[in-house]
Amino acid sequence: MTEYQLNVAHLYGNLMNTYGDYGNIIALTYYAKQIGVAVDYQLVSLGDEFDDQAFDFVLFGGGQDYEETIVAEDLPAKATAIKHYIENDGPLLAVCGGFQLLGHYMVMADGTRVDGIGVMDHYTTNMYDDQLTVLSGKRLTGNIVIENNDTGEKYHGFENHQGRTFLGEGERALGTVISGNGNNGMDKTEGVIYRNVYGSYFHGPIFTRNGNLAKRVLATALQRKYPDVDWQARLDPVPTESF
């Protein structure tokens, strides 16, 4: 029997899985296995309860506008529990649409405004910002490289999004854009860090191309659950893979 186990929730994984965002769980499970940690996976979707006490890591991936609209209708029923999980330092990775829906609102490609659950302070607009300033360009696509301002680590990925996200109070960027567009193509931010939440527009998925980040988040989740073990030290010798 494995001595250590992480319980992982995949929010709306049957609807929000653009470009294989589930690969983030595959990468996390791979690194966990190298240090003798089992991972138990659970899909939490439409109509399901989200128990904030039951999980050690949560993935909330991206989807097309149609799927995001469906999820936005169900998400408020889980909002209180998700907020409690986040504010109690629960590790969470939110990609693209999942990142957007944790904020106040998002504006779709056709101009439709969809309310998020506001458990974080960012918002996502489309052609105009809140002051009706025209934003340049259309979709933000292509390869992207960022540098984490806290650690100096560089992360590589691929972005493809119409929305422009602007960070709010208490939030800082996952990294500064070296090449590419980032959250909005204007302020050189990409993604978000808030407590133990990591948000990003990186598809591909981000953990499979950036094992350094995957191991960092895994160590955070394990340290939260098993605080008497030095998990970063256990993970440091594990080679970073390219999936």
Catalytic: which of 10, 96, 122, 161? Answer: 96
As given in the structure block, the two tokens for residue 52 are 């904030």
Q: Judge whether 203 counts as a catalytic residue.
A: yes
139 is in an annotated binding site: yes
Report the DSSP beta bridge partners of residue 155. Answer: 146
Q: Helix H segments across the chain? A: 23-34, 65-74, 79-87, 97-101, 206-209, 211-225, 231-235
3-class DSSP assignment, residue 206: helix
**β-pair partners for 8:** 41, 57
Question: Token pair of 160, please?
Answer: 């493809």
Secondary structure letter of residue 133 according to DSSP: P
- Which residue of the set 10, 122, 161, 203 is catalytic? 203
Q: What's the rounded Cα separation, in Å, for the pair 38 and 35?
A: 9
| Spatial contact of 38 and 238, defined as CB atoms under 8 Å apart | no
Considering Cα of 186, then 144, then 105, then 196, what sign does the dihedral take?
Answer: negative
Catalytic positions: 96, 203
List, as residue ranges, the binding site.
Answer: 139
Binding residues for substrate: 139
